[in-house]
């Protein structure tokens, strides 16, 4: 199985966890074609500080700067209550938890019914532990329920039927915990430049959904479905930060006009159009599934400019799904951990310098629980090490790198 196909397949695995996200399937450039790094960061000397009798955590480091640092558990809602150590460490390190509101887990199912058992578990976990709660997503082309997919595929389904489902779905989900949700990813991954539309929107009848080509929201409701989703969500929950979330926005290449650069332009154009219509959109979510072997392709200047362009529109920026794949890094753990840590630090040192960034969310906490183990495995069979804690819940250089970036970040207060 190819790596590209493998990463797409991770979504199936994450369904069992009650949440998942998407990742860019951009073409990669071989490291031999990139210039060598001139220096390396050394995180080995960083040790957790002890203040007022407690060890410094990412949560309190972030809070001291007016930031929220959060995470996705990568745990099934039924497993989470059993692992008390994981809960304790998650609450220590993170101030926010993500709940996955995906069609296959919450609905709509037959007769427009819904099941909130999994998402309620994460919401209750948040309330019991003084965590901020984030919902993801309201509208997405991917992983809708079988009942809704059959509706999309049926030749006699009308736009009026889909419109009714659309309005009911957004309203039902957004009202579930209205006034108690930090942010919603209202629309997730609507851009696909390769589909050839002038508006750069993803057309499922062209690019397909999980290998199949059938109409979804865009095809039934037209391109204004994005604007309408935000307006409906705003009516259902006037307190949440309403976010457009997308992937493939981070890297550049030495030749210019890369896949990611085209996507950045498309996202900026989409945001500009939405704001020009008075759409109640408050933030851009940047999925940040980094690749350790692509550190050289992270152009700080270009990415700073992108962040600044978003901020100049008056939008907040949420780093929504942060981790670092090590699948193409050297086998040696010391070297591998250092390169992963460098990726975290290099990225966050740029990101946190932008005042519009107020929330950062790691896609996982411990290497024990990560989608990358199954869907971006190393060819040498070694265990992947993409997250901040190892399998024993011990802090790695990656944790120290994030702590260093947080300490150096300008205060938002």
| 88-137 tens-digit pLDDT | 999 999 999 999 999 999 999 998 999 999 999 999 999 999 999 999 99
Cβ neighbors of 155 (< 8 A, separation 6 or more) are none
Average pLDDT over residues 390-396: 96
Tokens of 93: 């390190």
Closest CA to 317 of 241, 263, 205, 251: 241
Nearest Cα to 132, choosing from 81, 63, 232? 63
Phi, psi (degrees; rounded to nearest 5) at 389 = -120, 150
Asked whether the predicted pLDDT for residue 351 surpasses 60, the reply is yes
Q: Where are the alpha helices (DSSP H) in 177-246?
A: 204-207, 217-221, 225-236
Paired tokens of 347: 């990225």
Residue 284 pLDDT greater than 70, yes or no: yes
Cα three-residue angle 82-400-343, rounded to 5 degrees: 100
pTM here is 0.89
pLDDT in tens, 151-178: 999 999 999 999 999 999 999 999 999 9
Write down the domain spans for the chain. Answer: 3-24+41-408
Tokens describing residue 358:
């107020």
| Widest CA span in the chain | 66
Residue 38: predicted pLDDT: 41
The pLDDT value recorded for residue 49 is: 55
Assign 3-class secondary structure to 134-160: EEECCECCCCCCHHHHHHHHCCCCCHH
Region 3-24+41-408: CATH code: 3.20.20.80
Lowest mean pLDDT among 9-23, 254-268, 326-340: 9-23
Give the pLDDT score at 34: 36
Check pLDDT > 90 for residue 405: yes
What are the tens digits of pLDDT across the range 285-311? 999 999 999 999 999 999 999 999 999
User: The tokens 């890369």 sit on which residue?
Assistant: 258
> Residue 319: beta bridge partners?
286, 360
**Residue (of 20, 177, 9) closest to 98 by Cα position:** 20
pLDDT of 31 strictly over 50: no
């Amino acid at each position: 199985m190819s790596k590209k196909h493998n990463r797409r397949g991770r979504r199936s695995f994450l369904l069992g966890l009650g949440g998942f996200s998407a990742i860019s399937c951009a073409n990669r450039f071989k490291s031999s074609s990139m210039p060598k790094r001139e220096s390396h960061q050394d995180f080995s000397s960083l040790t957790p500080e002890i203040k007022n009798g407690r060890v410094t955590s990412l949560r309190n480091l972030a809070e001291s700067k007016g930031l929220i640092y959060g995470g996705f558990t990568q745990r099934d809602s039924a497993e989470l209550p059993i692992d008390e150590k994981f809960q304790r460490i998650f609450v220590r390190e993170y101030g926010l938890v993500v709940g996955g509101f995906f069609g296959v887990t919450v609905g709509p199912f037959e007769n427009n019914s819904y099941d909130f058992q999994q998402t309620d578990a994460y919401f209750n976990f948040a309330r019991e532990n003084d965590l901020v709660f984030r919902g993801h997503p309201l509208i997405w082309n991917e992983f809708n329920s079988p009942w809704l997919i059959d509706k999309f595929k049926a030749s006699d389904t009308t736009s009026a039927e889909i419109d009714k489902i659309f309005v009911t779905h957004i309203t039902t989900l957004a009202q579930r915990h209205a006034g108690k949700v930090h942010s919603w990813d209202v629309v997730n991954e609507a851009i696909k430049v390769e589909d050839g539309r002038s508006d750069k929107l993803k057309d499922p009848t062209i690019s397909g959904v999980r290998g199949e080509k059938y109409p979804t929201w865009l095809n039934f409701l037209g391109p204004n479905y994005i604007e309408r989703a935000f307006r409906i969500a705003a009516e259902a929950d006037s307190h949440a930060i309403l976010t457009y979330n997308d992937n493939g926005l981070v890297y550049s290449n030495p030749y210019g006009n890369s896949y990611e650069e085209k996507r950045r332009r498309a996202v900026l154009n989409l945001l500009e159009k939405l704001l020009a219509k008075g759409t109640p959109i408050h933030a851009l979510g940047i999925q940040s599934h980094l690749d350790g072997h692509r550190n050289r392709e992270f152009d700080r200047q270009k990415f700073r400019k992108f962040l600044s362009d978003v901020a100049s529109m008056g939008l907040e920026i949420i780093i929504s799904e942060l981790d670092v794949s090590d699948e193409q890094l050297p086998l040696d753990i010391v070297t591998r951990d250092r390169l992963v840590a460098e990726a975290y630090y290099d990225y966050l040192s740029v990101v946190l310098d932008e005042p519009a960034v107020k929330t950062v969310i790691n896609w996982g906490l411990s290497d024990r629980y990560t989608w990358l183990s199954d869907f971006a495995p190393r060819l040498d069979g070694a265990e992947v090490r993409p997250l901040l804690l190892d399998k024993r819940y011990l802090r790695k250089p990656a944790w120290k790198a994030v702590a260093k970036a947080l300490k150096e970040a300008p205060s938002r207060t």
